Structure formats: C-alpha cells, structure tokens
Amino acid sequence: NKVSDVTRDARDAAAQTGGKTTSNRAELPDMLAEEMAHLNREVGALARGIAARDEAWAQAKRSTDAKLEQILQLVAQSQAQPPPHTAHLPHESGNMPGQGVTWQGVAGQGVARHG
C-alpha cells in the first residue's frame, strides 16, 4: 500500500531529524502538493477499477438476462405446443389408445399393425 509506505517514510524522516519532517518549512507545500498528486492518481486508479468492475457486472447481468429470456421463451413455446408423439404401451385390450394400432403375438414379442 503506497499510502502506508509514505506514512512510514515520513515517520522515518521525522525520527532522523528529531521530530521535524522537513529541514525547511518552505518544502512543506511542495511535499503536500506531491502527496496530493500521488493520492489523486491513486483515487483515479481506484475509480477506473470500480467503473470497470461495474461495467463487467452490467455486461454479465445483460447476458444472464438474455439467456434467461431465451429459456423462458422456450418453456412458453413448449407449453403452447402439444408434446411430440411418444410410444404408449398397449392397453389390456391390445389397442393403443387413439392410434388404431393392434398388438398381436406372444407377450413381449408383439407386432404393431396399423388398422
């Protein structure tokens, strides 16, 4: 962390100069200006990082929302259409319901004949 490094450096300099951080008070405005410029760069980098994170999150949300909308449309379509024909086991009478198909032969070896 650069801020803690600057703080530590200031403490070290103060210890070396007997508690004074600068040898000349005239240097203080320059040091403050330099530190402010450094902090402004840090804040700018943080703001750019936050903005990039927010945009990535927004893109991921848009993508997820679009995929969810596709899934919901597919579900709605599948509920609106009758299901595709699936094979039915014959009833005890040997006829498949509504198919006009009779089953003949030994159980388990039936042959379907369209009537």
Q: How many CA atoms lie within 13 A of 22 on its CB side?
A: 9
Instruction: Tell me the pLDDT of the chain averaged across its residues.
Output: 76
Task: Write out the E strands in 1-115.
Answer: 95-96, 101-104, 111-114
- Encode pLDDT of 21-62 as tens digits: 555 777 888 899 999 999 999 999 999 999 999 999 999 999
Distance CA 36, CA 113 (A): 91
Buried b (16+ CB within 10 A) or exposed e, 73-91: eeeeeeeeeeeeeeeeebe
Tell me: pLDDT of 73 over 80: yes
